[in-house]
Amino acid sequence: MTTIAIVEGDGIGHEVIPVARSVLEALHPAYEFLPVDVGYGMWERTGCPCADKEIDALKTADAILFGAVTTPPMKDYQSVVLRIRKALDLYANLRPVQGDGFDIMIVRENTEGLYSGIEESGPDRATTLRVVTRKGTERIVRSAIRLAQQRSGRLTIGHKANVLKSDVLFRDICTSEARSAGITFNDKYIDALALDLLQHPAAYDVVVTTNIFGDILSDVASYLVGGLGLAPSANIGDRYALFEPVHGSAPDIAGRNIANPIAAIRSAVMLLDYLGDKDGACRVEIAIGTVISQGIRTRDLGGLAGTREFGDAVIRVIRKNR
Ligand code: NAD
Ligand code: IPM
Ligand code: MN
C-alpha cells in the first residue's frame, strides 16, 4: 500500500492541493491519503503550527504532497516548512524550469547556508550565521552531478565567492567533485547567473547553489515559464521526500478559486516520478499541455478558468487518454 501525506497548509494551499490530490486519485485509486494539518491556521487554533506528532505522521508516509504555509513576520515564530525540511533532512531541493528550447534543473542546498537558524537579534544589531560545511556541500553537489549525468551532463555552480568566504569553500568543493566526476562544468557569480539564466536559458542544464541563492533564483527563473503558478519542486533526502510548489500561500488571492494549480499538479508529477510511476507522470504533464492548448487557463495566464475548473479539465483529459 502506498501512503501519501497531504498537507494543504494555509492560503491557496487549501485550493491547489485538493486539485493535485484529485489528479493522484484519478491515476491511483488505491493510494491511501493521510491529511496532516500544519501552518499558521493550526497555530491560530492551537498555539502550535507543527508539533512532533505531525512530524512523526509525515515520516510514516511514502511521500508528502505539501501546499504552502504562511509565515508571519513575528520574532520567535519558526517557519513550518523549514522545520519539516530539517526534521526530515530533505537536503536536496530540486526546482525544474522547463520550456520551449530549455530544460533547467536548479539544485538548491536545503539545510544550511543562511538558513542555519544560528541567529541573534538585539535592538540595534541582528546577525545570521551563514554556515557552509564540507558534508553539506558534498552531498548536494553529488546529487547535482548524478542528475547532470542522467541529463545533458552539464553543471553550473552558482556562488558569490568574490565576497563570501563560505562560498569559496562551496565553489571549491563543487569544482573538485565535478572535476573528479569528469562532467562538463562552469561556475558563475550568482548575480550575473540570475540575469544570464533569463537571457540564455538554453545554455543551462543543472545549476547547483546554496540555500538562499537557490530560493531567489527559482522564483526569478519561473519568469521563463509564466510565473510562480507553474513552478514545482521536490525536497529529497535519503529517507523522505516532500513535493511542493515553489510559490507560497499567496494571501492576496487566497479563497477566490483563482490560483493556478499547475505548480501543485506538477509537484504531484514529481512525486509520481519519485515513486516510480514514470507513465503516470508523463500522462499528467501531457494533460496539462492539452488543457492549456485548449485555451483553458487561470487568470495569471490570461484566462478565465477557476482553480477547480482547470483541475477538472486536466482530470477529464487524463481519463480520456487512459
Ligand atoms: P507567494 O509565492 O505566496 O506569492 C507571490 C505572488 O505570486 C503573489 O502575488 C501571488 O498572488 C502570486 N502567486 C503565487 N502562487 C500563485 C498561483 N498558484 N497562482 C497565481 N498566482 C500565484 O509569496 P509571498 O506573497 O511572498 O508570500 C506569502 C506567504 O507565503 C508568506 O507568509 C511566505 O512566508 C509564505 N511562503 C511559503 C512557502 C512555502 O510554504 N513553501 C513558499 C513561499 C512563501
Ligand atoms: C520556498 C520559500 C521558503 C524558503 C520560505 C517560506 C521559508 O520561500 O520554499 O521557496 O525560503 O525556502
Ligand atoms: Mn521561495
Extract the C-alpha cell encoding 149: 549525468
Ligand 1 lined by 111 (C-beta under 6 Å): no
H-only helix segments in the chain: 13-27, 40-46, 52-59, 80-87, 134-150, 165-181, 190-199, 211-221, 262-274, 278-293, 307-320
Question: How many A from CA of 277 to the centre of ligand 1?
Answer: 29
Is 10 known to be catalytic? no
SS (H, E, C) 95-109: EEEEECCEEEEEEEE
The widest CA-to-CA distance across the chain, in whole angstroms, is 62
Report the share of the chain in percent with pLDDT over 90.
Answer: 97
Active site residue: 167, 205, 215, 277, which one? 215
- Domain annotation for the chain: domains and CATH numbers: 1-90+237-322 (3.40.718.10), 91-230 (3.40.718.10)
Q: What confidence tier does 322 reach under pLDDT thresholds 50, 70, 90?
A: confident
End-to-end CA distance of the chain: 22
Tell me which of 9 and 321 has the higher pLDDT.
9
Residue closest to 201 by CA, chosen among 290, 288, 98 = 98
The protein residue whose alpha carbon is closest to atom 12 in ligand 1 is 250
Q: What confidence tier does 240 reach under pLDDT thresholds 50, 70, 90?
A: very high
Question: How many A from CA of 320 to the centre of ligand 2?
Answer: 36
Question: How many A from CA of 57 to the centre of ligand 2?
Answer: 22
Q: How far apart are CA 17 and CA 15, in angstroms?
A: 6
| Residue 63: predicted pLDDT | 98
Q: Is the pLDDT of residue 191 over 80?
A: yes
Question: How many A from CA of 180 to the centre of ligand 2?
Answer: 32
Active site residue: 219, 273, 300, 312, which one? 219
How do residues 71-122 score in pLDDT, each as one tens digit? 988 878 889 999 999 999 999 999 999 999 999 999 999 999 999 999 999 9
Residues with CB under 5 Å of ion ligand 3 are 215
Q: How far apart are CA 278 and CA 220, in angstroms?
A: 28
Is 135 known to be catalytic? no
Q: What confidence tier does 314 reach under pLDDT thresholds 50, 70, 90?
A: very high
Question: How many A from CA of 215 to the centre of ligand 2?
Answer: 6
Q: Which residues have CB under 8 Å from 294's CB, separation 6+?
A: 313
Q: What confidence tier does 43 reach under pLDDT thresholds 50, 70, 90?
A: very high
Is 115 known to be catalytic? yes
Could you write out the DSSP letters of every residue in 219-259?
Answer: HHHGGGGTSGGG-EEEEE-SS-EEEEESS---TTTTTSS-S
Q: Is the pLDDT of residue 14 over 80?
A: yes
Is 100 known to be catalytic? no
User: pTM of the prediction?
Assistant: 0.98
Inter-residue contact 99 to 225 (CB < 8 Å): yes
The CA distances from residue 32 to 24, 45, 60, 237, 281, in Å, are 10, 27, 12, 22, 18
Q: How far apart are CA 132 and CA 125, in angstroms?
A: 23
How do residues 201-228 score in pLDDT, each as one tens digit? 999 999 999 999 999 999 999 999 999 9
Q: Which amino acid is at 55?
A: I
3-state secondary structure of 74: coil
Extract the C-alpha cell encoding 311: 483541475
Mutation test residue for ligand 1: of 17, 69, 220, 228, the one with most atoms within 8 Å of CB: 228
Mutation test residue for ligand 2: of 106, 215, 246, the one with most atoms within 8 Å of CB: 215
